[in-house]
Amino acid sequence: MTDIAMIEAAAARLAGRVRRTPLLSSPFLDRIAGRRVLVKAECLQHTGSFKFRGAWSAVSALTPEVRARGVLAYSSGNHAQGVAWAAALHGVPAVIIMPADAPAVKIDNTRALGAEVVLYDRATESREAIGTAIAADRGLTLIRPYDQPQVIAGQGTTGLEIAEQAADQCVTRADVLVCCGGGGLTAGIALALAARAPGLRARPAEPAGFDDTARSLAAGQRLRNAAAAGSICDAIVTPEPGEITFPILQQLAGPGLVVTDDEAMEAMALAFARLRIVLEPGGAVALAAALFRPDQIAGDAVVAVASGGNVDAALFARALARA
């Protein structure tokens, strides 16, 4: 299981490989939120999201012999790019299983990062069956998007940085809002903060209709979302909390926060104008919660993790048109 020692070990492997992303702020955002808002800009991470941390952690933790055979991931999004690039920098093969109807630009980008992309038909084929067959045939190691201890440890390095950077800004007691899908980033940050900055508390932030983690935490058991898709925050839509991540959140995380798609878009526009960073809708959910749910947050400061910025130009322009 992931613990602080595993996160610290991941941080040592990641040193010089991941970016120490800045903790940004703006007096204009503080005014909206009614308290100081510190934004951890993981959209500036390699491949545009925090996923590179977990991917690097998992790939670098393999024995050289196992790693040399290569890795495999299922993803049409940020995890795919993180795994592809971590493998490329290690000089080992990566196979990414993607739906044939994924946006062409995502397929092209994943290939351009050095991965072999295997397409499957969502309607008639099982990605698990295809992946399992390829992995067995070629001896590839599966890198899961969240339910894997070394992946959670890599995401947890974000929490180590937040603990230090928030203290540098004299913030030692605050909620740390985290865009939450399967819970790998939230769980990793929760573990890091509990050990290194106990006055900071991780809380998941989710889009309305896909608030499985908030509801599960309230119910004390894992609950599924009613729908499988339908939010513009696609990067953080998962069917239910992870098997490994959920017990960590139950133990360490505060209550979940939920925002609408519209509020996520509004937060994108504000991040553009006030922080000059690019966020995707799923990466703006925590900032939206920090800005638009003041009554559900205590204290005179809040930290929001801006988890990713892989958004196409047309959708981003729609968010700007609201500003």
Interface residue list for its own copies (CB under 8 A): 16, 19-22, 24, 27-28, 31, 41, 43-44, 48, 85, 109, 112-113, 168, 269, 272-273, 275-279, 309-310, 313-314, 316-317, 320-321, 323
Tell me how far, at minimum, the Cβ of 276 lies from its own copies, in Å: 3
Q: Which two tokens stand for residue 201?
A: 């508390």
- Cα(66)–Cα(245) distance, integer angstroms: 25
Tell me how far, at minimum, the Cβ of 273 lies from its own copies, in Å: 7
Sheet with 116-120, strands from edge to edge, namely 116-120, 94-99, 71-74, 141-142
Do the Cβ atoms of 234 and 245 come closer than 8 Å?
A: no
Supply the DSSP string of 9-64, one letter for each residue.
Answer: HHHHHHTTTS----EE--HHHHHHHTSEEEEEEGGGSGGGBTHHHHHHHHHHHS-H
Q: Which two tokens stand for residue 71?
A: 């890795």
Q: Which two tokens stand for residue 78?
A: 């940020």
Tell me how far, at minimum, the Cβ of 271 lies from its own copies, in Å: 9
Q: Which two tokens stand for residue 116?
A: 């072999």
What is the distance of C-alpha 64 from the center of its chain? Answer: 27
Beta strands in 141-265 (DSSP E): 141-142, 174-179, 200-207, 257-259
Tell me how far, at minimum, the Cβ of 127 lies from its own copies, in Å: 26
Q: Which two tokens stand for residue 227?
A: 């729908």
Tell me how far, at minimum, the Cβ of 289 lies from its own copies, in Å: 20
Nearest residue (CB) to its own copies, 1 versus 105: 105
Q: What is the dihedral of CA 69, 74, 78, 83, to 10 degrees?
A: -10
Tell me how far, at minimum, the Cβ of 301 lies from its own copies, in Å: 17
Nearest residue (CB) to its own copies, 187 versus 279: 279
Nearest residue (CB) to its own copies, 97 versus 279: 279
Tell me how far, at minimum, the Cβ of 170 lies from its own copies, in Å: 11
- Cα(287)–Cα(26) distance, integer angstroms: 12
Nearest residue (CB) to its own copies, 190 versus 278: 278
Nearest residue (CB) to its own copies, 171 versus 194: 171
Tell me how far, at minimum, the Cβ of 76 lies from its own copies, in Å: 17
Nearest residue (CB) to its own copies, 227 versus 273: 273
Do the Cβ atoms of 116 and 109 come closer than 8 Å?
A: no
Nearest residue (CB) to its own copies, 81 versus 148: 81
Nearest residue (CB) to its own copies, 137 versus 168: 168
The single residue listed with the structure tokens 């926060």 is 257
